[in-house]
Structure 1
Amino acid sequence: MPKIQDLKRSLLLQLYARASAPCRDYYGLTIAESCISINAWKITHGPHVTPKQKFCPLEDVTQDKFLQEEIKNIFGATILEYILDLANNKRKLENLPTHLFLNVLRYLKINDVLNLIQTNKIFYELCNTDSVWCMMFTKVLNRSPSPDEKRMAFDYGWREALKRRMTYIRKVFNENKMKMKKQPAVHAKKKTIKAK
């Protein structure tokens, strides 16, 4: 029987979804290398109902047609296909172990990673992790983060830290650009005064 430790140790993907109207139930899906966990918050039955959790080894998902249909209806056919590929050991870029996936991303350009994020829901989730944004931070700025930037990332996440750092860099760049535009005009006035 899979355990919470197995999920944490080999976590690949975590997704959340809301059931279609008029139902108000929420669902969470945690996918690890050897098992999945589905959490269901049946809010329709009352706001204080505790979530139900179901663990399932990946090999059992291939046999359980009811579970497959449930995953497909709540999270979509792409997610079901992703899980079945994992269960059948069909290796694709999106179901590589996390450390291998990160190693592949290290060889991509920033724009390639940003394009990958827009490919589908799985890549969106995989590429929006803190570890990927930390790597992007290092690539964009071409240096390791400073202690202040690490603290900012701890508080807000690497994506927000990169966004704030880029905003600051643009602001300083624009201020310097304005100063440079003003300086040649000052020199030109001085030259005309000397000529008289």
Structure 2
Amino acid sequence: MSEALSLLPSNGVLVELSGQAPSPSKDFHQFTISTSNTIWRTWNITLRNDYRRLNPTESRQPAEDFAYDERLQYDVRRVFGNNTLEYVKNLCLGQIDYLARLPTPLLIYLVSFLELEDVASLAQTSKQFYEVCNNDSLWERIYEVHCDTVTDEMRSLAEQLGWKKMFFTNKLQLQVQLRRQRIKSPDGEGRNGDTFITD
């Protein structure tokens, strides 16, 4: 459990959201959820030409109380949407998304063990996992697992195409690409030493 807790930020903040309330309101809101409490701040925006400065209002309460605060839940849903509300409710109940908080290199390592269909599905779950599942380092690992030989020449081509495109390129097309790269090379070496791609 101590290892999981070490994934949390040192200040305890799990998520911080900010946004403007739906029209016709112009008010601006900020919502901070930490391991211990929730903080809801509101800046009232007025178009009236008066000289009063409206200070932001702040509501602070223990995180576990959020599940019973229907008014605050209504405000979160109104400003940030129902999906965000459900996510925040889970955080306040202690259901913290530790997987999403892992360092990117470790996530890439874990995802590399998934079946290709699962990688495609995971990429659709969030922006973070979309980026992880399309990371070039991930596809380099996948390529190395599925291909018997990865030559320096193939690595050079991958720098141009990207490992994901290399992986999904038809093997015949890949042979053509390698041959073109070989012809373009300044010294012209390797024209007679073809690299063959095998399963």
TM-score (norm 2): 0.48
Structure with greater proportional helix content? 1
Return the TM-score normalized by structure 1: 0.49
